[in-house]
Amino acid sequence: MWWLLAAAWCVLLPGPMCGYKQGSITNPEANMNISQLISYWGYPYEKYDVVTEDGYILGIYRIPHGKGCSRKTVPKAVVYLQHGLVASAINWICNLPNNSLAFLLADSGYDVWLGNSRGNTWSRKHLRLSPKSPQYWAFRNVNSGHMPTKAADPEAFMNVSEIIKHKGYPSEEYEVATEDGYILSVNRIPQGLTQLKKEGSRPVVLLQHGLLGDASNWISNLPNNSLGFILADAGFDVWMGNSRGNTWSRKHKTLSIDQDEFWAFSYDEMARFDLPAVINFILQKTGQKKIYYVGYSQGTTMGFIAFSTMPELAHKIKMYFALAPIATVKYARSPGTKFLLLPDMMIKSRANVYVAHTPAGTSVQNILHWSQAVNSGELRAFDWGSETKNLEKCNQPTPIRYKVRDMTVPTAMWTGGQDWLSNPDDVKTLLSEVSNLIYHKNIPEWAHVDFIWGLDAPHRVYNEIIHLMKLEPNLSQGTCKVTL
């Protein structure tokens, strides 16, 4: 069953994935629900709510007959279409009618029914439970086929703050408003278990998760295997960000998450607005002038963009630690199958906790931006689809190309030889562009998620991060290679 978890990471997802409009060339179907899409193509439809024995309410759709057919004909043979993993009934009707199985069957004289599995966009209701409740999602487990229970997997039912407190650590949670109105949840572990009575300021570190992740990625293993707890116990003041649109950062000053405008963002905005807001808030709250930054996957992409385009922000970073770094994805291979190979060394019993919090959601536009990155092979701003829109958004008719070489922050990088997203060929290009690279380590057998879930991560990466942090005050200014 472990491949299933990897697949769930690679495709899109129980969290919201919505709200993309591409200027004047919008496909109208992109903004339609299933009923509207069926009607749009001139077919009749019916919608029903079906209640399961355990209380879930499923949205079921029907195309009773094809175009031009009458209801008053003889009974038709019935066919039921069921979608696959993290998908919906829309899969059967999203092509043109002559290329969509549901429409083809209806036109061939069949009575077509389309199912929606519990938890997807169209089957997110229950007789008693709210989708905001962890209990609602207690069917998402892959651990030997057993459902998670509060007794066996209490953290699967907790938010980030509750997990931190559950492990005995102090926890603080803040809301940070960005310049463009998004309200982000930021979690803090101000100190470790061994320094609860120690006074005075501690060096500050910000941990930024990757695509479809959240702050729980840094604390989802046991304390001696989770970077968030390990850093706190090593004497650091640990802050963990949540990118706009994930489970814990779905608020805005003026927009509702039901509005497409809320979801009109990608990692561009995360770098331009989220990172500056969070970093400046942390500095204001702690009274410190600089912090350490640890990014994982998309969290490194945000760092490369922010620190290369905003020198004033870069000056607030003591050192940048990039885990599974991604600037370009020109050579990324087979993202649907192998780039998220699970670690050989991981705590299998923690699968319930991993799956309960991951994936945590993002926008369609963010995924489209990654698709553009694959096609272009470059680290560029989002292409809005027209010169007019690009001029409005980035003051030039084509997307801005970001230059990692402009980043001067001392940077340490850890890469995996089996990482099919942060591909070795892309990493080779990146290494040549990082102008102040002080340390790089490649771990030949590691894949993408080893960096957050691998049992050997403390020994192979985390201890080195701490060593470099403690070494940093003694490093001379400018480029300085470090040997560990």
Q: Which residue do the tokens 């409740």 mark?
A: 133
Pair of tokens at residue 257:
């998450």
**3-class DSSP state of 283:** helix
β pairing state of 204-208 and 172-177 = unpaired
Distance of CA 249 to the CA centre of its chain: 12
Query: At 61, which helix (H) or strand (E)?
Result: strand 56-63
Burial of 224 (0-12, 13-18, 19+ CB in 10 A): exposed
Pair of tokens at residue 152:
């066996």
- Cα Rg of the chain, angstroms: 24
Residue from 224, 162, 220 nearest 192 by CA: 224
Pair 42, 281: CB distance under 8 Å: no
Q: Which residues of 312-346 are buried (b: 16+ CB within 10 A; e: fewer)?
A: ebbebbbbbbbbbbbbbbbbbeebeebbbbbbeeb
Q: Which residue do the tokens 């403390």 mark?
A: 458
Examine the residue annotation and report whether 297 is marked as an active-site residue of this protein: yes
Ramachandran quadrant class, 145 (left: phi over 0; alpha: psi -120 to 50; beta: rest): left
Residue from 312, 325, 316 nearest 412 by CA: 325
Ramachandran quadrant class, 357 (left: phi over 0; alpha: psi -120 to 50; beta: rest): alpha
Pair 417, 443: CB distance under 8 Å: yes
Q: Of the listed 233, 419, 426, 450, which one is catalytic?
A: 419
Q: Of the listed 220, 274, 448, 450, which one is catalytic?
A: 448
Q: Of the listed 216, 243, 266, 297, which one is catalytic?
A: 297
Tell me how long the chain is.
484
Long-range contacts of 24-33 (CB under 8 A, 24+ apart): 24/386, 25/385, 25/386, 29/94, 31/260, 33/122
Alpha-carbon distance of 194 to 170, in angstroms, equals: 11
Pair 118, 86: CB distance under 8 Å: no
Please state, in angstroms and as integers, the Cα–Cα distance from residue 283 to each residue in 170, 185, 205, 276, 466, following that order: 19, 16, 11, 11, 20
Alpha-carbon distance of 148 to 125, in angstroms, equals: 20
Q: Which residue do the tokens 């699968």 mark?
A: 351
The residues annotated as belonging to the active site are 297, 419, 448
